[in-house]
Chains A and B, each alone.
Chain A
Amino acid sequence: MEGHSTYQPKSGAAKWLERRLPVIGLMYSSFVTYPTPRNLNYWWTFGAILTFVLVAQIVTGIVLAMHYLSPGSMAFDSIEAIMRDVNYGWLLRYLHSNGASLFFFAVYIHMFRGMYYGSYKEPREVLWILGVLILLLMIATAFMGYVLPWGQMSFWAATVITNLFTAIPLVGGAITQWLWGGFAVDSATLNRFYSLHYLLPFMIAGVVVLHVWALHIVGQNNPLGIDVKSKKDTVAFTPYATIKDMFATALFLILLAWLVFYVPNYMGHPDNYIPADPLKTPAHIVPEWYFLPFYAILRAIPNKLIGVIALFGSIAVLFFLPWLDTSRVRSAVFRPIYRQFFWIFVLVCIGLGYLGSQPPQGAYVIIARILTAYYFLHFLVILPVLGLIERPKRQPPSITEAVLAKSGSAEPAAAEAAS
């Protein structure tokens, strides 16, 4: 919101509203005329994709909530009723469950984009921190959402994760009982998870508004990581970014459609089609795929309390990323050494994810410990040191010049007068 919008209301009704609550002008300046760097690549479309998926999850969630019954004795059956009897219930359920998976898929890509191009660096620290906050809320929401079907995995994942709180010294047991509403995970736990699962997405939406606000104050980063120097470096958000985002969203929807219609249970676990049984633990308790790296970190540490601290620490460390990375250069495009460590880090995360899905035995344990140590080393040692000793490549003076150089100055450079 860099000053008043340039929106000129045309109709009488628009003028009337604009004088009292300038929402149209706000939307206009934020999403129509808003200057966007012209050199953004497709990794920048994931913000729009995420917004779309958030809305989709909220809409499908609200309609599912019209049919879901949260008492423990009814939850599993109510979801089967949705799948079998509710008109298009199967579609709405599969959209919601697979949408959640793709929500995390998109958010991890969005975050890796930020890490690669230095989008967390000055002046975007608050933007990044808001993003990590959104991630935390997403994790809580997804965890509670997975409990709702009240299958074996739902129940036992809830048991394992809520039991983590018993690791807290002195008050851990009391806190865990308070969370449970009883002496074990049961209907009381399920009901409050339902209530919070309905609430949290709206809090996510609120933080997303702050996130976009913070973004619009400082403007987008771009693949070169250099600041926008003039209006020439930018294009109007509509139609340029809008159309590009819609195209990327269409591709994303193809992926979602493939999941929903052809492999709807691929991301899930068969044990969750078994009703919850407090007396029988599944052979391997695994969370949904998007939690596997964190699960691997938790299990890698043999001490219960330190394992829990490492689990929360693996996300907490993200909050400090803007200050841990000491480099003056934002984008990995100009940081050849950092680039390699970035890809190693991506592989480490994928490796941790795989290890989280395997039983904690034998070689898996040792490798998980190595990768866990490396995960923290990346943030706490590699990034700070690298920024100080790396010699970055020379950055172009402006976005416009870089773009023109790339296109081989096929266009007459003199015609800049048009803007």
Chain B
Amino acid sequence: MPEQGRGWLDRGRILTTTDTAETAEPTRRDFLYIATGAAAAVGVVFTAWPIIDQMNPDKAALALAQVEVDVSALEPGMSLTVKWRGKPVFIRNRTEEEINAAKAVPVADLPDPVARNANLAADAPATDANRAADGKEAWLIQIGICTHLGCVPLGQQGNYGGWFCPCHGSQYDTAGRIRQGPAPENLHIPVYAFESDTKLRIG
């Protein structure tokens, strides 16, 4: 076992050369090996990226990331459910009673005091103003997926006149906030904007 000298490189040698000069000056040899190793590592990373990135949503999926809805037919008290990014979005034109009922609830009483509104800061409180559309307090737009385990809640049902999830009994109020049941968070509100009084863009 010829394990003296430079270790692993010795295993092939049948003929020695004087290697005193080499051990005194390893820098040039090492630099080459380090450079090659680094280049190989860079190559591996740049090769790996497309393989990983291809699993991200493709351009067709991203193109459907925005949906425009014509809400002109929605009178107060009417709801519309549209599909956005594969999920249901509840669009509701609320009645006076629903708005007032939501406003009357102190935020401190809510199991989830945060607005969960993607159009606002993450820590905005769950006041009715922060839940409803800006300047259009009758309009409530939220993702219709129960924050417990993902079922679609049923509208205008339950003890709070809002939404009721039949899977495990979560109850949401008229502003879509969780009041009772196992769901930890208020129904999430997606990024949206009213392009006009009748046209709503989600996403």
| Residues of chain B in range 31-67 having any CB-CB distance to chain A below 8 Å | 40, 50-51, 53-56, 58-61
Q: Is the CB of B11 within 8 A of A400?
A: no
Bound CA–CA A89/B61 (angstroms): 14
Q: Is the CB of B16 within 8 A of A418?
A: yes
Q: Say whether A412 faces chain B, with CB atoms less than 8 Å apart.
A: yes
Bound CA–CA A85/B57 (angstroms): 9
Q: Say whether B26 faces chain A, with CB atoms less than 8 Å apart.
A: no
Q: Say whether B29 faces chain A, with CB atoms less than 8 Å apart.
A: no
The closest CB in chain B to the CB of A414 belongs to B15
Q: Say whether A238 faces chain B, with CB atoms less than 8 Å apart.
A: yes
Q: Is the CB of B54 within 8 A of A66?
A: yes
CB-CB under 8 A from B15, the residues of chain A are 411-413, 415-416, 418
Number of A-B contacts (CB under 8 A): 67
Q: Is the CB of A66 within 8 A of B55?
A: yes
Bound CA–CA A235/B12 (angstroms): 4
> How many chain-A residues does the 8 Å CB contact rule pick out?
32
Q: Say whether B28 faces chain A, with CB atoms less than 8 Å apart.
A: no
CB-CB under 8 A from A419, the residues of chain B are 2, 13-14
Q: Say whether A38 faces chain B, with CB atoms less than 8 Å apart.
A: yes
Q: Is the CB of B8 within 8 A of A92?
A: no
Bound CA–CA A232/B15 (angstroms): 10
CB-CB under 8 A from A66, the residues of chain B are 54-55
Q: Is the CB of B8 within 8 A of A418?
A: no
Q: Is the CB of B51 within 8 A of A38?
A: no
Write out, one digit per residue, whether chain B residues 6-30 have a CB within 8 A of any chain A CB (1) or not (0): 0011111111110000000000000
CB proximity of B87 to chain A, nearest CB, Å: 21
CB within 8 A of A86: which of B9, B40, B58? B58
The closest CB in chain B to the CB of A418 belongs to B16
Bound CA–CA A413/B14 (angstroms): 9
The closest CB in chain A to the CB of B57 belongs to A87
| Residues of chain A in range 370-413 having any CB-CB distance to chain B below 8 Å | 400, 411-413
Q: Is the CB of B14 within 8 A of A87?
A: no
Bound CA–CA A85/B40 (angstroms): 29
Closest 5 CB pairs of A and B: A235-B12, A88-B50, A236-B11, A411-B15, A85-B59
Interface CB pairs A-B, < 8 A, 24:
A38-B12, A60-B51, A63-B51, A63-B54, A66-B54, A84-B59, A85-B59, A85-B60, A87-B53, A87-B58, A89-B54, A92-B51, A92-B54, A239-B8, A239-B9, A411-B15, A412-B15, A416-B14, A416-B15, A418-B2, A418-B10, A418-B14, A418-B16, A419-B14
Give chain A's interface residues, CB within 8 Å of chain B: 6, 33, 38, 59-60, 63, 66-67, 81, 84-89, 91-92, 232, 235-236, 238-240, 246, 400, 411-413, 415-416, 418-419
